[in-house]
Amino acid sequence: MKYIKTFSQDTEVSQVALGCMRIGNMTDKEADIYLSTAVECGYNYFDHADIYGGGRCEEVFGAALKRNGKLRDKIIIQTKCGIRKGMYDFSKEHILSSVEGSLRRLGLDSVDVLLLHRPDLLMEPDEVAEAFDELEKSGKVKHFGVSNHSAPQIELLKTSVKQELSINQMQLSIATASMISSGANVNLCNEDGVNRDGYLRDYCRLNGITIQPWSPLQHGFIEGSFSKNEKYAELNRTIGELAEKYGITETGMAIAWLLRLPDKMQPVVGSTNIERIKAVAEAADIEITREDWYKIYLAAGYRLP
C-alpha cells in the first residue's frame, strides 16, 4: 500500500480507501474480518455516509470497531451528509443532526472527516459555515470536504466556510473517465471533449484538494463492474494482458491505472470481497509505465486527437 499526505499535508492516508456502502448485510464475523484484514493490508481510510444502507452500514462498522477497539486510533473515518429522501439539504439544522446520527450509529464521539454529499441546489454558504464552525468547535468533526462538487461550487462555499475543504469525492473509473478525457480534447467538437466537471482535475491539483474517485470499478451510474462486461471487451483484454505483465489481478490493474495519475487521487474501493481487497492493496504498490497507462486509456475507447 502507498500512502499520501492530506489535510494540509499533516496526515498520512492509504492511497486507496475502502468504501463501506455495501457492508450493511455483513454478519458480525464478516465485518470483523473485513475490518481487520483491511488494516492488515495497509488501508487506514474508510468512507461512509449517513444514508448507506439506510444507516445500517455505519451501524455494522461501528459494532465491528467496538469489538476491535484497538483499531480506532489506526484508522480515519469519513462520513457524508446532505442527501435526504426527495431532496438535498445543506441547512445548518440538517448537517448537525446528520452528524449526530452518524456518531450514534458509529458509536464514536467524533469523525475524522465530513463531506457534503451532493450539491444542495438551495445551499447558503453562511449556513454551512455555521454548521462547520460548531462541529469543529465541539470536536465532533476534524476535517471537512465535499463530494460531487464543481470548482465554482467549492469557491462559493469558501466565501463563508473557514475550514479547509480537503477532499472532493467524484465518480471516476477507467469506464467513466470523462474527467480525464476532456483534458486531452479541449475545445474539440467530439464526445471526449465534453467537459462535465469544469476541469476539476486541474482545479483540485492547483488547490491541493484530494480527489477521491468513487465507484472506481463500475461503469455507468453504478451499473455493475466493467470487468467481464462485453461492452468493454477491448478494455478488459488490455487490462488482462497488462495485469499478467505486472503480476497483479485485473481489479488491481484498474486501480493501478488511477494511481498512476500524477494528481495523487485516493480511489474509494467498494468491494466486500476479501481477496479483491487484498489484491487491490498489492496493486497499489505497482507503478505502471506511461506507455501502459495510455494503452489502457485508448482501449477504453477514449481519443487522443
Place of cell 490493474: 253
Q: Kindly tell me the sign of the dihedral angle through the C-alpha atoms of 264, 191, 156, 114.
A: negative
Residue 174 CA, distance from chain mean position: 15
Q: By rule CB under 6 A, what count of residues binds ligand NAP?
A: 24
Q: Which is nearer to ligand NAP, 39 or 185 (CB)?
A: 39
Grid cell, residue 218, equals 463500475
Stretch that binds ligand NAP, among 32-40, 160-168, 229-237, 263-271 (CB under 6 A): 263-271
Q: Which is nearer to ligand NAP, 14 or 147 (CB)?
A: 147
Grid cell, residue 193, equals 471533449
119: contact with ligand NAP by CB under 6 A = no
Stretch that binds ligand NAP, among 94-102, 193-201, 265-273, 286-294 (CB under 6 A): 265-273
Selected from 142, 158, 205, 276, the binder of ligand NAP by CB under 6 A is 276
Grid cell, residue 161, equals 466556510
In the set 34, 43, 52, 232, the catalytic residue is: 52
20: contact with ligand NAP by CB under 6 A = yes
Stretch that binds ligand NAP, among 158-166, 202-210, 222-230, 239-247 (CB under 6 A): 222-230
153: contact with ligand NAP by CB under 6 A = no
Is 52 assigned a catalytic role?
yes
Selected from 47, 59, 127, 192, the binder of ligand NAP by CB under 6 A is 47
Selected from 169, 178, 210, 238, the binder of ligand NAP by CB under 6 A is 169
Grid cell, residue 228, equals 467481464
> Which helix (DSSP H) or strand (DSSP E) does residue 67 occupy?
helix 56-67
- Half-sphere exposure (Cβ direction) of 102: Cα atoms closer than 13 Å: 27
Stretch that binds ligand NAP, among 119-127, 130-138, 214-222, 290-298 (CB under 6 A): 214-222
In whole angstroms, give the CA distance from residue 298 to residue 292.
10
Selected from 8, 25, 138, 273, the binder of ligand NAP by CB under 6 A is 273
CA distances from 116 to 38, 76, 189, 288, 292 (A): 25, 17, 33, 33, 35
Q: Which is nearer to ligand NAP, 76 or 217 (CB)?
A: 217
Residue whose CB is nearest to ligand NAP in the complex, by number: 270
Q: For the chain, what is the largest distance between any 2 Cα atoms, rounded to a whole number of angstroms?
A: 56
* Those residues with Cβ within 8 angstroms of residue 193's Cβ, 6 or more apart along the chain or in another chain: 181, 182, 185, 186, 187
11: contact with ligand NAP by CB under 6 A = no
In terms of Cα–Cα distance, which of 34, 36, 15, 18 is closest to 26?
Answer: 34
215: contact with ligand NAP by CB under 6 A = yes
- Residues near ligand NAP (CB under 6 A): 19-22, 47, 147-148, 169, 214-218, 222, 225, 227, 251, 268-273, 276
Q: What are the residue numbers of the active site?
A: 52
